[in-house]
Structure 1
Amino acid sequence: MLRRGKKAKTPLSEEEQLLLYQQKLLAEEEMAKKKERLLSQFLKDKLAKEEQNSALNLNKINTQWRTVLREVKTKELHKDIEILSQTFERVVDCKDSVIK
């Protein structure tokens, strides 16, 4: 019985083998270049996204830091006002006593 669909392979000549080998090398080289381009593009996209996230996070951190600094400054100013108020009251009391 004959099997259908199978062809008998004929031996390739040396030129055909060389041509086939060159085509294979060319295809591998093209694939390597394509892979390198894809990797390069992926890394560029990843870097751009990372820089964008970095800028956004820096903005958030600066906003939070300003809030903390404002709170600290507010506490310092309240303390200074309290001290100045007490000093003022003491001076007023002292002058009142001199007047009386």
Structure 2
Amino acid sequence: MSSAFEDIAAEQEAIRARWGEQHHPTGAHRGFAPLRRLLQYLCDRAARRGRKTWRHILVEEVLEVLAEPDDPQAMRAELVQVGAVVVAMIDDLDRN
């Protein structure tokens, strides 16, 4: 089985082959801050109850990205965290 990183690199190549180099607005907006806070609360609550899932973690991380409209460095750092969560999820799926 290929690694998550190999599969991601292959998918990036397929996207470039189909669509070329991509440039889009991020879509980040301060309006996502309340959703981010809600998901942080739900994630923390699920953890306290022993019910935390990858869904909780991933959605919380994505909303952290979307709530960083004015700070490209913070957004990049959050995107790296999203990538790390995605790879961890793939690794977990591959182990099971």
Q: Same fold (TM over 0.5)?
A: no
Higher RCO (CA 8 Å, separation ≥ 6 residues): 2
Larger radius of gyration: 1
Q: TM-score, structure 2 length as denominator?
A: 0.27
TM-score (normalizing by structure 1): 0.26
